[in-house]
Amino acid sequence: MKVLNVGSLNIDHTYQLERIVAPGETITSKQMSVYAGGKGLNQSIAIARAGIEVYHAGKIGIDGQFLIELCNDSGVNSTFIETGVIPTGNAIIQVTSQGQNSIILYPGANRSLDKAWIDKVLTEFSKGDILLLQNEVNLIDYLIIEGKKKGMNIFLNPSPYDEYIDKCDLSLVNTFLMNEVEGAQITGCYDPECILTRMKNLYPQAKVVLTLGQDGVYFQDKEQRVYQPARTVKAVDTTGAGDTFTGYYIAAVIEGKSAIEALTFATNAAALAVMKAGAANAIPKRHDVEKY
Enumerate the known binding-site residues. 10-12, 38-42, 136, 179, 211-216, 237, 239, 242-243, 273, 276, 278
Residue 266: inside a domain, yes or no?
yes
Confidence at residue 240, expressed as pLDDT on a 0 to 100 scale: 76
Least Cα distance to 55 among 36, 39, 35, 75 occurs for: 75
As a whole number, mean pLDDT of residues 244-249 equals 96
pLDDT in tens, 137-177: 999 999 999 999 999 999 999 999 999 999 999 999 999 99
Residue 24: inside a domain, yes or no?
no
Cα gap 19→28, rounded to integer Å: 11
Confidence at residue 35, expressed as pLDDT on a 0 to 100 scale: 87
CA distances to 210, 265, 272 from 228, rounded to whole Å, are: 10, 10, 16
101 and 117 in contact (C-beta within 8 Å)?
Answer: no
Domain extent, residue 280, equals 3-9+37-88+109-291
pLDDT in tens, 109-127: 999 999 999 999 999 999 9
Q: How many CB atoms lie within 10 A of CB 25?
A: 8
Enumerate the known binding-site residues for K(+). 237, 239, 273, 276, 278
Residue 31: inside a domain, yes or no?
no
pLDDT in tens, 179-195: 999 999 999 999 999 99
Residue 26: inside a domain, yes or no?
no
Handedness of CA 146, 149, 153, 154 (dihedral sign): positive
User: What is the three-class DSSP state of 64?
Assistant: helix
Among 129, 141, 162, 243, the one annotated catalytic: 243
Confidence at residue 292, expressed as pLDDT on a 0 to 100 scale: 83
Edge-to-edge strand ranges of the sheet holding 89-96:
31-37, 10-17, 89-96, 101-106
Residue 157: inside a domain, yes or no?
yes
Residue 19: inside a domain, yes or no?
no
Residue 98: inside a domain, yes or no?
no
236 and 99 in contact (C-beta within 8 Å)?
Answer: yes
As a whole number, mean pLDDT of residues 201-210 equals 97
Q: Could you give the maximum distance between any two Cα atoms of the chain, in Å?
A: 52
Q: For the chain, what percent of residues have pLDDT higher than 70?
A: 98
User: Is residue 234 predicted with pLDDT exceeding 80?
Assistant: no
Task: Confirm whether 114 is a catalytic residue.
Answer: no
Number of domains present in the structure of the chain: 1
Cα gap 217→215, rounded to integer Å: 7
Band (pLDDT 50/70/90 cuts) for residue 236 is confident
Cα gap 268→225, rounded to integer Å: 20
Residue 65: inside a domain, yes or no?
yes
Enumerate the known binding-site residues for substrate. 10-12, 38-42, 136, 243
CATH at 156: 3.40.1190.20
User: Is residue 238 predicted with pLDDT exceeding 80?
Assistant: no
